[in-house]
Chains A and B, each alone.
Chain A
Amino acid sequence: KAGVTQTPRYLIKTRGQQVTLSCSPISGHRSVSWYQQTPGQGLQFLFEYFSETQRNKGNFPGRFSGRQFSNSRSEMNVSTLELGDSALYLCASKLGDLSNSPLHFGNGTRLTVT
């Protein structure tokens, strides 16, 4: 079974631009979560989608948004990019709604904002 796929792997953007990152979960997984990883802040939760609905949201500004499609694929968008948005963005999927299901992570998208 294929793992979580994130595209692209690397992105370089300029301040003020916007960016869209994509995540394809493991087949059958309906929950998709997004995390931002930086050396200073560690792993920070962005949001979680389940069956096309945002179920949880972290403490990030409204410039960060996401959505989930009927096939469980998810995208996150960051508008008006700032230098501090440079990070590794990780997507993780989870089987169903079981709280004991672990997260399965993709390899991430490395975003650099210049």
Chain B
Amino acid sequence: AQSVTQPDIHITVSEGASLELRCNYSYGATPYLFWYVQSPGQGLQLLLKYFSGDTLVQGIKGFEAEFKRSQSSFNLRKPSVHWSDAAEYFCAVGAGVNAGKSTFGDGTTLTVKP
């Protein structure tokens, strides 16, 4: 069965500092990986996705993520965090005919200090 682990429940960074959110997955084949962001009271918005090819993928809002098969990881990064990035971030894995049944991590809440 597929699973996703986000080890950090809560992360606090200063505005302008770099950010890395961790995600580890378990999946028997090549995974399709996603990062979503959720602001309070809102649904989830896709930041970026990985299917194959280049292991470094670029997303919206200046985010990027790197797929490392050997470490079963798909960490999200941003070089300089803005106050508006404060939100909850979810890593998800979904593939094949069950792609609609994506498995999500428990999320990481990001707080940005002024």
**Residue positions of A touching B, CB distance < 8 A:** 4, 6, 31, 33, 35, 42-43, 45, 48, 50, 55-56, 58, 90, 92, 94, 97-108
For this complex, 13 residue pairs linking A to B, each with C-beta atoms less than 8 Å apart, are A33-B101, A33-B102, A42-B107, A45-B102, A45-B103, A55-B97, A58-B101, A98-B99, A99-B97, A100-B99, A102-B49, A103-B94, A108-B42
Other A-B pairs, 14, CB within 8 Å; known A97-B97, A101-B99: A4-B43, A48-B100, A55-B97, A55-B100, A56-B101, A94-B100, A99-B96, A99-B99, A103-B36, A103-B92, A103-B100, A105-B44, A105-B45, A107-B42
A98: B residues at CB distance < 8 A: 99
B106: A residues at CB distance < 8 A: 42
Query: Which partner residue on chain B sits nearest A42 by CB separation?
Result: B106
Q: How far is the CB of B79 from chain A (nearest CB, A)?
A: 24
The complex places the Cα of A94 from the Cα of B95 at a distance, in Å, of 13
Secondary structure at the A interface, as helix, strand, loop or mixed, is strand
Q: How far is the CB of B63 from chain A (nearest CB, A)?
A: 14
A103: B residues at CB distance < 8 A: 34, 36, 44, 46, 92, 94, 100, 102
A-B contact count (CB 8 A): 69
Query: Which partner residue on chain A sits nearest B43 by CB separation?
Result: A105
Interface residues on B, range: 20 to 34
The answer to the question of B83 belonging to the interface, with a C-beta cut-off of 8 Å to chain A, is no
Q: How far is the CB of B25 from chain A (nearest CB, A)?
A: 15
Known contacts A43-B90, A45-B103, A99-B96: A108-B34 contact under CB 8 Å? no
> Which of B44, B94, B97, B106 is most buried by chain A, counting CB atoms within 10 A of its CB?
B44
Known contacts A43-B90, A55-B97, A94-B99: A104-B104 contact under CB 8 Å? no
- Asked if B101 and A45 sit within 8 Å, CB to CB, the answer is yes
Q: How far is the CB of B58 from chain A (nearest CB, A)?
A: 15
The 4 A-B residue pairs with the shortest CB-CB distance, nearest first, are A105-B43, A48-B100, A99-B99, A43-B104
The answer to the question of B71 belonging to the interface, with a C-beta cut-off of 8 Å to chain A, is no
